[in-house]
Amino acid sequence: MDPELNVNIVDLGLIYEIEILRQSGTAHSSRSAQDDKVALKSLATSSNKQAIVSIVMTLTTPGCPLGGWFVEQVRLAVVSELKLKPDQVMVEITFDPPWSQELMGKEAREKLGF
């Protein structure tokens, strides 16, 4: 959840990509929040706990003082949900492309009055 907007970061459009690399070398990459949820659920129920989860995300503004906090919260959420080791989850911040309101889901836009 974004602590200032009280909307989850997926619906805000802050998650750009999730890639899951399994020990076998197979990968899943997605730029769709729904695909991300399916892939992570699949990983959570699989017996392959040697996977690496790489997340590329952005912030609403480059000067956001909570950037480091977001990285750590995303990492902790994935580690906890999937029962992974912290070193199995990598979170990268990017501003390419820059975040815009068009990236928000319908519910987030409605909640924030856009």
CATH of the domain at 40: 3.30.429
Q: Is residue 85 part of a domain?
A: yes
> What is the band of 51 on the pLDDT scale with cuts at 50, 70, 90?
confident
Q: Is residue 4 part of a domain?
A: no
Residue 44 reports pLDDT greater than 60: no
For 58-85, the pLDDT digits (tens) are 999 999 999 999 999 999 999 999 889 9
Q: Is residue 54 part of a domain?
A: yes
Instruction: Report the number of distinct structural domains present in the chain.
Output: 1
Residue ranges making up the domain that contains 72: 15-95
- Which DSSP string do the residues of 4-68 spell out, in sequence order? TT-S-TTTTT-EEEEEEE-TTS-EEEES-HHHHHHHHHHHHHSS-TT-EEEEEE--SSTT-TTHH
Contact 89, 79 (CB under 8 A): yes
